[in-house]
Amino acid sequence: PYITVEELRRELPPEQAEYCISRMTKYVGPEAAPGALDYISFSSALYGESDL
């Protein structure tokens, strides 16, 4: 349910990584890694809810 800032910067071109980082909220949960960002809420905001 989360992705780290480091993963985004490693996997995406710089402009795309910074776009995502600036728009994602911090992930809060017991298993959260340092720098974890909430991928689920970000993708839901972009693409809407999914039944997958």
Distance between CA atoms of residues 43 and 6, nearest Å: 18
Alpha helices in 1-52 (DSSP H): 5-11, 14-23, 39-47
16 lies in a domain? Answer: yes
Provide the CATH number for the domain around residue 13.
Answer: 1.10.238.10
C-beta atoms surrounding 37 within 10 Å? 21
Q: Are 24 and 38 in contact (CB under 8 A)?
A: yes
- % of the chain with per-residue pLDDT over 70: 92
In a domain, residue 38? The reply is yes
Residue 52 lies in a domain: no
More confident residue, 16 or 47: 16
Residue 13 falls inside a structural domain: yes
Tell me the two tokens of residue 10.
């490693």
The model's confidence at residue 7, banded by pLDDT at 50, 70 and 90, is very high
* 31 in a structural domain: yes
Question: Is the confidence at residue 23, as pLDDT, over 90?
Answer: yes
* Total number of domains in the chain: 1
pLDDT digits (tens, 9 = 90+) for 33-46: 998 999 999 999 88
Q: Is the pLDDT of residue 31 over 80?
A: yes
Residue 10, domain extent: 2-47
